[in-house]
Amino acid sequence: MPYSFTSESVSEGHPDKIADQISDAILDNFLAFDPYSKVACETMVTTGQVMLAGEIKSNTYVDVQQIARDVINEIGYTKGEYMFEGNSCGVLSALHEQSPDINRGVDRGNPEDQGAGDQGMMFGFASNETENHMPLALDLSHKILRELAAIRRENNDVKYLRPDAKSQVTIQYSDDHTPQRIETIVVSTQHDEFIKSEDKSQAAQDKAEADMCKKIADDVKNILMPRVIAQLPGHIQKLFNDEITYHVNPTGKFVIGGPHGDAGLTGRKIIVDTYGGKGAHGGGAFSGKDPSKVDRSGAYAARHIAKNLVAAGVSDQILVQVSYAIGVVEPMGVFVDTYGTAKVDMTDSEIAEKVKGIFDLRPGIIERNLKLRAPIYRETAAYGHMGRKPQTVTKTFYRNNHQGIEQKDIEVELFTWEKTDYVDKVKAAFGI
């Protein structure tokens, strides 16, 4: 019996994602000037206001208020009519020193003996239904919004777009879990009130709103989606046909949005950040946390394991769980579920034992192997932490060192956990 599965994504201008990006930008700036900074930064955004809270232990100073303003402007909140604008919004900081009770369980003389920064369980997932080993519905949802943001910044044919947006994709699968077709696509995008009513009558207002909604729906179907589909491999393009149901701004006009429409908080989009509802989630958010917090580093390590196992041909899809106790070096356990798709003659528990012999899951080793003490996190905070392209870039940071503005250029590797650099080791261990 065919079944349907749905995933959603939200844009960089969504209130929760604004908060995530501010938190990760602050983290990056601390790591740029002190790689051993301990950061747990939470952000809240609402009409005209940003509030920062959390704990930081660092040997450097950064201007967190200016960082927040820069992020907001880069996202595109640059107009007073949005009721949230980078240069004029209030920014309140309630950041304070990290508790020494927590820190003493983490920092050790030997980095290899570093304890986990918290307790909890983290999950990694991978599937062979896409080239980046991500669930297809989430991958498409991200691509739709990345392309929508690109169109907004081009400001050519579509001039009315504002930064806040959401997408959702529903895919029909066969009994053997193979994607058959795209059933439904939902796109909700904030926009200018670019068609004014002829007068104040309800009929005139209704007509103006209907005309705006029709224009937006036409542009989504005729401009946005062809650009998205053109990026996809041929076997995915075939899933698109004329029978797709589109819901574009289904409630009508969407002028009031961003933090003026809804308050935003760091860590409220953990399913968007990971696997779109596939696999599992341990509950811990990522953004604003330095890698000593295993909520983040453990989840990246689990994804690295899962992706390399699928890429090596151990199974068609796999879920990997790791768990930790605060201050303890070794993980509490490693769990594997191949959903019956294993291609090796082993049980899932036997596969898990093999995994423990291939991947070192001590927190300090994860930090070292995945190069997590670098300022690499702002890029993760919108359009998903997983399934992204590993790449080396140079990033520039600034701080006031009391002698003037200091500039620091740092070459970093982004999304190291997406590398398939353990495939040969996995194949050797499993005899593939």
Please give the positions annotated as active site: 14, 16-17, 42, 55, 166, 254, 262-263, 268-269, 289, 293, 295
CB 90 within 8 A of CB 299: no
Listed in sequence order, the residues at least 6 apart from 214 whose beta carbon sits closer than 8 Å to its beta carbon are none
Is 293 annotated as contributing to ligand binding?
yes
Is 285 annotated as contributing to ligand binding?
yes
CB 265 within 8 A of CB 125: no
Query: What SS3 class is residue 278?
Result: coil
Alpha-carbon torsion, ordered 131, 137, 142, 148, to 10 deg = 120
Pairing of strands 3-10, 161-173: antiparallel
Listed in sequence order, the residues at least 6 apart from 430 whose beta carbon sits closer than 8 Å to its beta carbon are 312, 314, 344, 346, 354
208: Cα separation from own chain's centroid: 36
8-state DSSP, 345: S
Is 269 annotated as contributing to ligand binding?
yes
Is 16 annotated as contributing to ligand binding?
yes
CB 77 within 8 A of CB 88: no
CB 134 within 8 A of CB 127: yes
CB 410 within 8 A of CB 33: no
Cα–Cα distance measured from residue 31 to residue 407, given in angstroms and rounded to the nearest whole number: 14
Is 84 annotated as contributing to ligand binding?
no
Is 354 annotated as contributing to ligand binding?
no
CB 412 within 8 A of CB 31: no
Is 14 annotated as contributing to ligand binding?
yes
How many other C-beta atoms are found inside a 10 Å radius of the C-beta of residue 157? 9
Listed in sequence order, the residues at least 6 apart from 327 whose beta carbon sits closer than 8 Å to its beta carbon are 105, 106, 115, 116
Is 425 annotated as contributing to ligand binding?
no
Query: What SS3 class is residue 65?
Result: helix
Cα–Cα distance measured from residue 70 to residue 147, given in angstroms and rounded to the nearest whole number: 22
Is 28 annotated as contributing to ligand binding?
no
Is 55 annotated as contributing to ligand binding?
yes
Cα 249 to Cα 147, 166, 246, 256, 298: the distances in Å are 17, 10, 10, 13, 37
Binding residues for L-methionine: 55, 98, 262, 293
Binding residues for ATP: 14, 164-166, 253-254, 262, 268-269, 285, 289
Binding residues: 14, 16, 42, 55, 98, 164-166, 253-254, 262, 268-269, 285, 289, 293
